[in-house]
Structure 1
Amino acid sequence: MTNKAEKYIEYLENSAFPYTIELKDQPEQIKDYLEGIYNTIVLKDIVNRKKITDVMMLKSILRYVFDNIGNPLSSKKIADTMTTNGRKVDSRTIEKYLEAFMESYIVYKAKRYNIKGKQYLKTLEKYYVVDIGLRYMLLGSRKMDAGHILENIVYLELLRRGYDVYVGKIDTFEVDFVAQNQKGNHYFQVALSVRDEKMLERELRSLYSIKDNYPKYLLTMDDDPKQDFDGICKMNARDWLLENDD
C-alpha cells in the first residue's frame, strides 16, 4: 500500500478535525473526542436552539442522513422511511431538522443544477457530512460505503477551494458535481474504479454530453497515470486532493 493510500485510510478513520492530529494512534481518544463534538452539536446546540422535544427522532434522522450521503433525498422520502420503521413523523418536521443540521454545519446540501438549461432545480437534493470520521464514529465500519465516501470527500474539498457545488443534470444523465466560481464551471465524475470498460464508458458518458469547454474531470481510486479522453482528465482522486487548484 502506498503512503498516500495509507494516509487516505487514516483520514477516513481518524477524522479531519484539527485536534485529532494530536491524537494520532489513539483510536479510543479520537472516538471520545468525536462523541464530544457530536453531543455538543446535536444535544446542546440543535436541541436547545430549536427547542427539540423528540431528541430520539432527531438522532434517528441524523443517522439516516449520515447513512445516505450521496443519495437523492427529500423530506417526504425520509418521513416515509421513518414512518415505515414505526416512527411516525411528518415532512415539515424533517425539513426543520434538516435545516438545523445545515445551520450547525454538520450536514451540507447539494442542490441540483440543469447544465443545459442553466437553471437550479428544487428536487432530489443530495446531502454530505462535515467529517467522515464523525460518520465512522456514528455508524461504524459496516457502513463504510467507499464510493459515496469518496464523493463526500471530493465535495468537501471543492467547498474548501471556494466553489459553489451542485449536483449536475444533463438530459437524462447525472454529473456528480458542477463546481462554480467566477471563472465558470468545473465538472466532476467520481468513481472508485473504472478499469472495467463498461464502467469507464458509463462514467464518461455524462461528461461527453456537456458541450462547453470548461474543465471536466473523472476522479477514481485507480492507481493509474493521468489520461485524457477528448478533453476529460481522468486522474487518481488522492492526487487531485493533494494538488493545488488551478
Structure 2
Amino acid sequence: MIDTHELKKRDLYLNKIIAFQDTEPVKVVTGIRRCGKSSLLKLMTLHLKENGVTDNQILEMNFESHAYKNMNSDSFYEYVKQHIVPNKRMYLFFDEVQRVPDWEDAVNSFRVDFNCDIYVTGSNAYMLSSEYATYLSGRCVEIKMLPLSFSEFITFHNFEIREMKSALGGTRKQVFDKAGEHYELREVFDAYMRFGGMPGIADIGLDQEKVLVLLEGIYSTVIMRDILERESRRGQKKITDPVLLKKIIMFLADNIGSNISVSSIGNTLVNEGLLENGKRKGTPSVHTVQAYVNALLESYFFYDIKRFDIKGKEYLRTLGKYYIVDIGLRNYLLGFRDRDSGHAIENIVYFELIRRGYDVSIGKVGNFEVDFIATKADNKLYVQVTESMTSEDVRSRELAPLKKISDNYEKIVLSLNTGIDSSYDGIKSINLIDWLISE
C-alpha cells in the first residue's frame, strides 16, 4: 500500500475526479504506468473520508497484487458483492482493472446491482476501445493523467519559488530547497529536462544512477505488461518481436517533433542497417510497423499529433509527429545529450498544453508550419517554440508563420532566451520557464 503520509497533492487531477463524484459514469483514470494513478485513487479515498464516508463504505482492489491474480469477471463480482454494506452508498476503487478478463461485465453489473460510485485505473488505452465502449458507452468519463508538470516537479521535490530583489531594482525568482539552499530557476528546469517528471523520482532524489534504475523499471514494465503481454491476450495483430519493438521505440524517441510517416519508419530502420532486409520479406510491412506504433500509443508511451491546415480549416492526412510522454524516459533510452534540446523543450510544451486542457495540432499555413495550434472551447492559441530569440535569423524564422495567420487569436513564441523585446507586431515573446510556472 502507498504510505498516505507520503502522498503529494495532484490537485489538477483530484479536482477533476471530485467534480464527477457521486455521478453515474464510471470514473476511468488512464495514463502511462507509474505516472501517479494509484496515488490519485488514494487521494480520492482520503477526500471521501474527510467528508464523512466511513472505511467500510470504501473497497479498494489493486489487480497488480498477487491476492487477485486469478480472478475472472465472476469471482471479481462475487468478491465485491461480499464486501457491499447493505443500505449504504459504496465507493469502489479498482486499480489496473484491465488485468481481469472481461472486467467490464463485472463493472457494468456493479453499476446496475449496487448503490455505488466506481473509480478505475488502467495503463492501456485499449481498455477504453471498441469492446469496452459498447458496454459502458456514455457511462464512463476518462481522466487522462500525465507525469509531473514543471510546476508539480518543483512541489514534489520540495522546492519553493520566492521572488527576490534584483540588482536592477526589479524582482527575480529563485528556488529554495528544504535546507534553505537556493538555486536559479534555470538550474531546476535543467534538472526537469534531464530527469523528467515521473513522480517516483521525488522519493529517491535527483541522483542520476538511481533515477536511471527507476526509469528502466518503468520502461521494462510498460514493454512487458502493457505491450508484449497484453497483445498475447487479444485477437488482433500480435506484438511478438521485442527487438523490432525496441528499434521502433528508439527511432520515435530519437525523432520527437519531426515529421514522420509509418512507412518512413520501416524504410529508415532498413537503410540504417537496424533491420535485416531479407530477400523474401523486405522491409516490415506498413501494417506491422503501424501495429507496433499503435501499441506504443495505446500504452501512453508516445502521443501522436495531427496536422491542421489553418487556411483550409481541415486536418491533413500527411505526416504527423510523435512526442514521448516523459523526457526522462527519452534520456534513459538515448543517453543525455544537448544536441537536440530544441525538440526536447517542444516535447515539454506539447504536454503542458495537453495538461491545460487544450486540443493540440500542428498548424500548416501555406508552406509554413506553426509548432502548435492549441484549441479549447471558444479559445485558440498559436505557439512557436525555440531555444532562443536573440538572433535575427531565428526571430524571422519563428515569427514568419505566425505573421501569416490572419485571425485575432493569441500568438506566442516560447523560448529559454527571449531577447529584449516582449512583443513583435502583437506576437508575444514569453520566457518558457515563466510560462510553465504560470497557472
Structure-1 residue corresponding to 2:270: 83
Distance 1:144 1:11 in 2: 17
Alignment partner, residue 69 of structure 1? 256
Matched AA of 2:263: K
Q: Could you give the per-residue CA deviations for residues 16-40 of structure 1, whole angstroms, max 9, x where no partner exists?
A: 0111112223222211111010000
Higher relative contact order structure (alpha carbons within 8 Å, sequence separation ≥ 6): 1
1:92 is displaced (CA, Å) by 1.0
Q: 1:14 aligns with which of 160, 175, 195?
A: 195
SS at match of 1:69: coil
Does 1:239 find its partner at 2:420? no
Residue of structure 1 equivalent to 2:204:
23
Cα contact 2:239–2:291 (8 A) shared by 1: no
Whether the 8 Å CA contact 1:67–1:143 is kept in 2: the answer is no
SS at 1:127's partner residue?
A: strand
What CA deviation, in whole Å up to 9, does each residue of 1:215-235 have, x standing for no partner? 100011105466111211101
Q: How many residues are paired up?
A: 244
1:56 and 2:243 matched: yes
Counterpart residue identity of residue 41, structure 1: V
Give yes or no for contact 1:82–1:89 (8 Å, CA) kept in 2: no
Which residue is 2:345 aligned to?
A: 150
* TM-score, structure 2 normalization: 0.54
Q: State which of 403, 410, 415 in structure 2 corresponds to 1:215.
A: 410
Give the match's secondary structure for 1:141.
Answer: coil
CA deviations 1:107-159 (Å, max 9, x no partner) are: 00010000111111111100000000010011101375110001000001000
User: Residues 18 and 226 of structure 1: is their aligned pair in 2 closer, same or farther, counting only changes over 3 Å?
Assistant: farther
Gapped runs of 5+ residues in structure 2? 1-173, 175-182, 232-237, 276-282
Partner SS for 1:72: coil
- What are structure 1's unaligned runs of at least 5 residues? none
- Distance, in Å, in 2 between the alignment partners of 1:155 and 1:226 is 24
Distance 1:141 1:229 in 2: 34
Q: Does 2:230 match 1:35?
A: no
Distance change (3 Å), C-alpha of 1:226 and 1:36: farther
TM-score by length of 1: 0.95
Counterpart of 2:358 in structure 1 is: 163
Partner of residue 172, structure 1? 367
Q: Is the 8 A contact 1:58 1:97 kept in 2?
A: yes
Whose helix fraction is larger, Structure 1's or Structure 2's? Answer: 1
Give the fraction of aligned pairs with identical amino acids, expressed as a percent. 43
String of CA shifts for 1:92-112, please: whole Å, max 9, x gaps: 111111111111111000100
Quick one: distance in 1 between partners of 2:338 and 2:244?
20
Aligned CA-pair RMSD: 1.6
Which 4+ stretches in 1 moved above 6 angstroms?
none
Cα distance in 1 between the residues matched to 2:308 and 2:427: 20
Please give the per-residue CA displacement for 1:31-69, whole angstroms capped at 9, x wherever unaligned.
Answer: 111101000001221011124221100000001000000
- Distance in structure 1 (CA, Å) of the matches to 2:298 and 2:338: 25
Do the aligned partners of 1:226 and 1:235 also contact (CA within 8 Å) in 2?
no
Greater Rg by CA: 2
Partner Cα distance (1:19, 1:149) in 2: 21
| d(CA) in 2 for partners of 1:27, 1:85 | 30
- Residues 143/54 of structure 1: CA separation in 2 closer, same or farther (3 Å cut): farther
**For residue 26 of structure 1, what is the amino acid of its counterpart?**
D
1:102 corresponds to which letter in structure 2?
Answer: L
State the Cα deviation string for residues 158-209 of structure 1 (Å, max 9, x = none).
Answer: 0000111101000110000000110231000001112111210111000000
Contact 1:136 1:143 in 2 (8 A): no
Contact 2:256–2:322 under 8 Å retained in 1 = yes
